[in-house]
Amino acid sequence: MRMGKGDTVINAVIGAVVTILLSFTGFSPIIGGAVAGYLQRESRRSGAKVGALSGVIAFVPFLLFGFLIFSLLFGVGMGGGFGLPGGPELVIIFFLIFPLIIAWNVGLGALGGYLGSYIYEETSA
């Protein structure tokens, strides 16, 4: 099986892995999306789509890690350990913070995918 043009899911997964590995940079969705868009070898619109999909896929491990951390902190806090509050803070996290993080990953991934497709077009001409 040959990776590359038209393998949208595979290219998005590769971009997501790059996003996760470079997550310490803060702008890793752009880099991961650019990798996915470059590998897509299609129009800039397709590059943006595969970059956005890369951002969605990359969000899944972040979400799982976030749930683990919050369940440990708030679970211990409700049991009298750290005394961390729950309730309204959890609502803010789940309904405000997580959607913003998803928008960050998807938006920057789409931008990166667009740029990756642009770079492919310019270097292959």
Using one digit for the tens of pLDDT, what is the confidence trace for 64-99?
Answer: 887 787 777 766 545 444 555 566 767 777 788 888
DSSP states of 42-57? S-HHHHHHHHHHHHHH
Is residue 40 a part of any domain in this protein? yes
Is residue 118 a part of any domain in this protein? yes
Is residue 52 a part of any domain in this protein? yes
pLDDT in tens, 8-60: 999 999 999 999 999 888 899 999 999 999 999 999 999 999 999 999 999 99
Is residue 1 a part of any domain in this protein? no
Is residue 86 a part of any domain in this protein? yes
Range of the domain at 28: 8-124
Task: Give how many domains the chain has, as a whole number.
Answer: 1
For residue 37, which amino acid is it? G
Q: Would you state the pLDDT for residue 92?
A: 75
Is residue 115 a part of any domain in this protein? yes
Higher per-residue confidence, 39 vs 2: 39
Structure tokens at 71: 């369940």
For residue 16, which amino acid is it? A
Is residue 64 a part of any domain in this protein? yes
pLDDT (mean) for 96-107: 89
Is residue 2 a part of any domain in this protein? no
